Structure 1
Amino acid sequence: MKAPARLVGFALIANPEVASPEGEQPMPQTPAEFRDKFRVGENLLHRSDGWTVSLRPGACTLGACVIGADRPHVSLADIDAGEAAALVDAVGWFEARVRAAFDADKFNYLALMMVDDHLHFHALPRYAAPRSAGGVAWSDPGWPGQPDLKHANTADPQALAAVRAALTGMPGA
């Protein structure tokens, strides 16, 4: 049975007509460049039709992920109806798994795309109190305000493997 998806704290900030602070338009990223930067291959958790869910490198909160489009898009308005439905499925998978594994209090979604000009969402579980996973005490210093994207919880490869296993249900995944 699918868990219903709820978007909480959704922000989409992307305008290809607005120049970067240096006065230049960002160059569109290919899906392959995006996957390389976010190490999707090693951090992959889930695939749906048109979207991948992967652990976010430098996790600012426990279970922070990136939900990225498989096709090259620079605007949410560019996705088709099938991709829109698959995005809801990907978000539902993410929320259900993180809620079950780590008891997240809320979820925030950011689609900034000012540096990485490829359609993706930073999917951030939010926590009113620290959580423990993989032998690491995970904090959310931005709670109850905006997420602190510069904060990175220190986790070794074994701790990240434990988080991955908790989210996928596969030991050592």
Structure 2
Amino acid sequence: MQLETFNQLASSQARLILQACVHIPTWVSELIQKRPYSSKEQLYQAADEQAATWQWSEISEALAKHPRIGEKKAAAVLSGKEQQFSQREQAQIETDAVLQLALYQGNLDYEYKFGHIFLIRAAGRSGQQILSELQRRLVNTVEQEQTEVRQQLSEIALFRLNQEIQ
């Protein structure tokens, strides 16, 4: 979608576009209220600045709507657009049976330790790179991991926004 079109959408339509990027209502509302944007760069800068204000409670709610890494099918509760994003982002992850099992076990260990799914920007990463990051992050403290999750969720949201608004 062109930026000009996004700027002119009804708020309800713009909300659907932005929610497909990330389920954080304050982020969505702020970006809608700041329209119109004079450039894509201005939109992305506003999106990045708003992401820096996310509270852990908002992030936690957004995580509950994300598919696990390695799940080839996104949850049915996601919108069609979110399912498409998830499938494209994880499509490049090549997994043989050993890697698939290691990701599955790593996800279980991670969820047990931190109480939420492992989140990583999958786009542009191989399955082995994701597994290495998962293993590295398992030694994080809760505070360190919350910082990493915030960064990864922000990267995912901005990546999706960049795909959606041309």
Q: Above 0.5 in TM-score?
A: no
The TM tier, using the shorter chain, reads under 0.3
TM-score (norm 1): 0.27
The structure that is strand-richer by fraction is 1
Tell me the TM-score normalised to structure 2 length. Answer: 0.28
